[in-house]
């Protein structure tokens, strides 16, 4: 873990070199295609889904996204779950994609959730098992490749932000380039006009200097908070409260940002565990901040409300 911290904190440039960054678990669920009337459904055709699963695993886990040099046990744990709902041709699919990422906490066996996002149910893409999943930043080869790459860069940005203040900035720039290239395609989810949950706006939240406190929230919560929990729990909890205060600062500038809601959604149960042994004043502060930035989540910490 010390080696990983040194690498992350000393990182100054990003390009493809010697080691992969992700340890990706991939699930492709095609049961709905077998239980509904779908074109090309066949027991003998199931091999395409195994091929799709392997192709996604290779794309995410076998590619060099940065110049991080990680040992196998240091690779970033993430998962991609794809529930297929429609197959309109031999190579055209629609489904729902969810993406998750975890981060180890320093000097412990605990891992903390950092990213948990589910796409809308209309994620469509082309997959041909006889063709590789080609990708580069300046060309659009397909919606599957671009979407996977986009989330890899977003996860890397969030992950690096948690180790160094603004450490993920180059990765957000990469994700923005992917979104910009894909925007000209016919696929939904890439354009600003498609609503606040589009991929355009999620990366914009992380790239907009007006929301700089979002990056300090990642850093304070993880590096100064969770990573310091075994050293001084009181100080660590104070840093986590400061992180929530930073989120409140972002929320004041633009309420209901997807990035802020995603942060709280992922952390809400963890906050309960962290602050159960805390003072009443700390619990009240956490409750007030969560109520300010994500009222829907206050029901999960209602026992913290001492008013």
* Residue 68's pLDDT band (cuts 50, 70, 90): confident
Pick the more confident residue, 51 or 9: 51
Condensed to tens digits (0 to 9), the pLDDT of residues 84-141 reads: 999 988 899 999 999 999 999 999 999 999 999 999 889 999 999 989 999 999 999 9
φ, ψ at 189 (rounded to 5°): 110, -10
Pick the more confident residue, 197 or 260: 260
Q: Which of 112-121, 164-173, 294-303 has the lowest mean pLDDT?
A: 294-303
Pick the more confident residue, 56 or 69: 56
Question: Which sequence spans correspond to the domains of the chain?
Answer: 2-207, 213-304
* Residue 39's pLDDT band (cuts 50, 70, 90): low
The span from the first CA to the last CA of the chain, in angstroms, equals 42
pLDDT value for 196: 87
Is the model's pLDDT at 142 over the cut of 80? yes
Mean pLDDT score across all residues of the chain = 89
Mean pLDDT within 265-282: 95
Percent of the chain having pLDDT more than 70?
A: 90
* Residue 11's pLDDT band (cuts 50, 70, 90): very low
Separation of alpha carbons 241 and 234, rounded Å: 11
Is the model's pLDDT at 178 over the cut of 60? yes
CA atoms within a 13 Å half-sphere pointing along the CA-CB vector of 271: 31
pLDDT value for 18: 45
Separation of alpha carbons 302 and 147, rounded Å: 37
pLDDT value for 245: 98
Task: From residue 77, give the alpha-carbon distance in Å to each of 21, 181, 299, 307.
Answer: 9, 27, 29, 40
* Residue 34's pLDDT band (cuts 50, 70, 90): confident
Pick the more confident residue, 166 or 73: 166
Reading the block at residue 159, the tokens are 């992950």
Residue found under tokens 């209602």: 302
Is the model's pLDDT at 19 over the cut of 70? no
């Amino acid at each position: 873990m010390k080696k990983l911290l040194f690498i992350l904190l000393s990182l100054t440039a990003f390009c493809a070199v010697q080691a992969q960054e992700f340890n990706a678990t991939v699930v492709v669920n095609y049961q709905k295609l077998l239980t509904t009337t779908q074109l090309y459904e066949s027991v003998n055709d199931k091999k395409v889904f195994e091929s799709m699963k392997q192709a996604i695993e290779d794309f995410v886990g076998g590619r060099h996204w940065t110049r991080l040099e990680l040992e196998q046990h240091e690779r970033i744990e993430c998962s991609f779950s794809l529930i297929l709902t429609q197959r309109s041709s031999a190579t055209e699919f629609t489904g729902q994609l969810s993406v998750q990422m975890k981060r180890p906490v320093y000097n412990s066996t605990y891992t903390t959730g950092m990213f948990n996002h589910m796409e809308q149910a209309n994620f469509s893409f082309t997959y041909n098992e006889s063709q590789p999943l080609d990708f580069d930043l300046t060309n659009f080869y397909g919606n599957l490749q671009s979407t996977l790459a986009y989330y890899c860069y977003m996860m890397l940005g969030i992950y690096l932000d948690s180790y160094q203040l603004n450490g993920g900035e180059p990765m957000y720039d990469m994700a923005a380039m992917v979104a910009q290239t894909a925007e000209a395609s016919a696929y939904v989810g890439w354009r600003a006009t498609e609503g606040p949950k589009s991929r355009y706006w999620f990366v914009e939240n992380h790239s907009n200097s007006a929301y700089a406190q979002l990056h300090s929230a990642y850093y304070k919560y993880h590096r100064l908070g969770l990573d310091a929990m075994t050293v001084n729990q009181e100080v660590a909890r104070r840093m986590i409260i400061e992180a929530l205060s930073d989120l409140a600062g972002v929320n004041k500038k633009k309420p209901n940002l997807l990035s802020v809601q995603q942060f709280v959604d992922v952390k809400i149960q963890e906050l309960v565990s962290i602050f159960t042994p805390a003072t009443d004043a700390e619990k009240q502060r956490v409750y007030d901040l969560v109520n300010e930035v994500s009222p829907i989540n206050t029901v999960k910490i209602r026992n913290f409300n001492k008013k």
